[in-house]
Every structure is written in C-alpha cells, then in structure tokens.
Amino acid sequence: MSPVDELSGAAAPIWMWTRPHEVESAALDQLRTIADLPYVHHHVAVMPDVHLGKGATVGSVIALRDAVSPAAVGVDIGCGMAAVRTSLTAADLPDDLGPLRAAVEAAIPVGYRGHAEISRRVRGYDDLWAGFGDLHPSVSGRSGGLDRVMAQMGSLGSGNHFVELCLDTTDAVWLMLHSGSRNVGKTLAEAHIAAAKKLPHNAGLPDRDLAVFLAGTPEMAAYRRDLDWAQTYARYNRDTMLGLYVEALRTQLPRLRVPTPPADGPHAGDAAFAAVNCHHNYVAEEHHYGADVLVTRKGAISARAGEYGIIPGSMGTRSYIVRGLGNPESFHSASHGAGRRMSRTRARKEFTTDDLAAQTIGVECRKDPGVLDEIPAAYKDIEAVIAYQDDLVDVAAELHAVLCVKG
C-alpha cells in the first residue's frame, strides 16, 4: 500500500498514483504550487487521471488544516456520478437504440437548458429550497433566481457530462450519468473564489487562484454554507435525472425496475453495489494522520474500505464500479475517471468526425462536430488508470456503453 511515485520540489510531499513523466509539465508545476501552501497537512495525493485544471489540478486530493481553497474544489461544486443496475439484460434491449436515445434527450435537458415546467418531484426538496435565501447574493439576490435554479434541477449540462446505458460483463443493463450543481454551483464558486483572492492573508501566495478561507472567519462560514448547499443540490440533481431517465426508458421498456439508491457513506451488500451516487468535486471533514482536516477532492472520489464508487472512461471505452480499500496514503481516495490527455482545442484540431464514428462503433450517440472534443482518444487509457490504483480500489463491475447522451 504505497504510491506509485513521488514528485519532488515542493514544501510538502506529493505522492502520485501514476508516473510523473506521464503528466504534462504544467500540471506538475501546479501540483508543486499546491504543495507549497502552508496549510497542507502531511502530503498531497495525486490520482492517476491527473491533468491540468483551473486553479487546482484535476485529480488532486488536498488535506488542509483550518483552511479551504474554493478553487481546489472547482466551479462545478458537487459534480459526480450516479449509476444503478436494472432488472433488464441485453436481451431486453431493442436492436435499434435510437428511439431510446431520443426519449432520454427529450426527458433530460442538456447544455444550458433547464425544464420548462418545475416538476412536483423537484418542488418536494423542501430542505434544500428553504436555504436558498441564505446563499451568496449573486444567487439569492437575483430576481426569479429560485425558479431558474429549480428549473435546472434534473438537467445534464455540457462538456464531459453524460447519460449512458451500459452493459456489464454478465449482460446486466446499467443506467449511469455524470453531472453536478449546474449554473448555481458555478455562480457560487466564482463569487467565493473572487472573495478569497481579496483577503489580506492571501496576498503572498504564488498563485492567487489558490486563495483560502481560514477557519473561524465569517468568509469561511459563508463558503461552507454555500458549498454544502451546492453539494446537496448536485446529489439531488443526479437523483432527479435518474428518475427522469427511468421514466423515459419505461415508455419503451415497461419491465424496467431499479433499486432505491442507498444513503451516503460506506456500504455493504448487493443493494449498495447496485445503486451508487458519489461526488468527485467536493470538500469533506475527515481525520487523517492524527488531525481533523478539510479534504478537498477535485476529480477524485472517496474510497473508504467497503465504499462503492464509480470511475467512468469515455464514449466508447469501459467504466468501472469500484469498492474502496481504505488506503490511508491516498486519504481514502481514488480517481474520478480516465482523465484528459489533451485539451478540447487540441482534440478538435487532431481528430475528425470520421475518427469519432470509428472510436464509438457500437454506441448509439452523437457523432457530430459538437462532441468531437469528447472523442475517446482525447482521454487517458482507462485500463491503465485502473491498474495504477489497485491498492486504492477493487473492481466490482466492468461496464461498457451502448448508448450515450452528451450535452
């Protein structure tokens, strides 16, 4: 139980579950800058899907003492994955999955869109909406803001967010999706990142994007309040989308049944294995190496012993349901996906729609220029990423997509 390698040149140790030569130099420099923060506790853990991010490196796990950096969470607060194993098998699916994809696209708004009507399901999240008025004024002060935020509940977004229909190695049908806190999380994050940069104690930082809030201050309390709210919104968003997904599929697959998702925390048994909902951009209060700390996972999942998580690949490749091994050296963490190996701009320059079609053979999905930057070749080899973290997780199920909806 030890990291694959260690990156030198920083105040705190940087333990990596990959090889430094496989990571772009800008990301390595960014990791060193993070590890130089005076609040870092013990070390920085780096997952095998690591790549350059805005503010903080994607695939980083950072434990801070009495401080938190909003940029180390990112602007999609609470972004994560959900997956459920259904009662169906491959034999229950029609030969032509096009109508199924059309039904899902009609039920779940993508891109910047939200729902035209706010459903009774969404209005029922009373515990969440009751706290809306206490959020940062950039959100709570907008005229009609609550209605817009409620309308985006149950919507996908764009970029690498997706909805997939998958088969595992036993031909069981799984539903899987990736999304977060939508525009409300982005707005809250940007407001707090900007506020942190103005605080006097951050004036000497080598990268002001890593500005922190300190424990016991009003600024920290305000950020933690908004952060917790947005993380809850993100989880409810995934739950809502799963409900819409199931309803859309049942119009053509009436025998479809799914389990009830379990509550948070480490789980055991078949029910937990078959229904998982996990963040991979978030903050949690945890205890590591003798101290109570705030752990920021940006592009990483919690992988406590027995805890189930999801590590997706890309369009046309494998994804994995995993069970955590509770490795203390990774702060009980694992990767959040395959991780990009090239920027979106570079992918659009290097590949064509013919390449996209060739790399997504057998997957019912868009194959047009609008999703070219999501081509599988733009991502790292998911099998290699999984192999690098065999001391962090066990593979519980291996999935491959047969249908994919992108924003």
**Contact between 15 and 302 (Cβ < 8 Å):** no
**Contact between 240 and 186 (Cβ < 8 Å):** no
Q: What angle do CA 364, 369, 370 make, to 5 degrees?
A: 80
**Contact between 371 and 348 (Cβ < 8 Å):** no
Q: The tokens 């695939």 sit on which residue?
A: 59
**Contact between 77 and 282 (Cβ < 8 Å):** yes
Residues forming beta bridges with residue 275, ordered by sequence position: 84
Residue numbers in the known binding site for GMP are 160-164, 280-281, 312-315, 319, 336-339, 406
How far is residue 314's CA from residue 160's CA, in Å, rounded to a whole number? 9
Residues 6+ apart with CB under 8 A from 287: 293
How far is residue 193's CA from residue 208's CA, in Å, rounded to a whole number? 9
**Contact between 193 and 70 (Cβ < 8 Å):** yes
Residues 6+ apart with CB under 8 A from 120: none
Instruction: Choose, from 41, 201, 336, 400, the residue flagged as catalytic.
Output: 336
The rounded Cα 50 to chain-centroid distance in angstroms is 13
Residues 6+ apart with CB under 8 A from 53: 27, 30, 60, 74, 298, 299
**Active-site residue flag, 115:** no
Residue numbers in the known binding site for Mn(2+) are 76, 161, 178, 280
Q: By C-alpha distance, which of 178, 228, 221, 183 is closest to 76?
A: 183
Residue 196 in tokens: 């942190």
Residues 6+ apart with CB under 8 A from 140: 132, 133, 134
Residue numbers in the known binding site are 76, 160-164, 178, 280-281, 312-315, 319, 336-339, 406
Residue 269 in tokens: 């048994």
User: Which residues are marked as active site?
Assistant: 336
